[in-house]
Amino acid sequence: MRARLFFMAAFAASAGAGCNAARPPQVAPPGPAVPAPMTQALPPDGPGCAGAVARYRSVVDNDLAMGHVNTGVHAQIANEIAEAASACSSGQDGRALSLLRASKSRHGYPG
For the chain, the structural domain boundaries read: 48-111
* pLDDT on residue 44: 62
Comparing 101 with 21, the larger pLDDT belongs to 101
**What percent of the chain has a predicted confidence (pLDDT) above 70?**
59
pLDDT tens column, 58-108: 999 999 999 999 999 999 999 999 999 999 999 999 999 999 999 999 999
Comparing 13 with 105, the larger pLDDT belongs to 105
Distances (CA, A) of 108 to 47, 53, 60, 73, 102: 24, 16, 11, 12, 10
* pLDDT on residue 96: 96
Q: Which amino acid is at 15?
A: A
Q: Are 107 and 75 in contact (CB under 8 A)?
A: no
Mean pLDDT within 37-54: 70
Return the minimum-mean-pLDDT range out of 9-18, 52-61, 101-110. 9-18
d(CA 111, CA 54) in angstroms, rounded, equals 14
Task: Choose among 73, 50, 49, 46: nearest CA to 60.
Answer: 73
Q: Are 42 and 54 in contact (CB under 8 A)?
A: no
Mean pLDDT within 32-54: 67
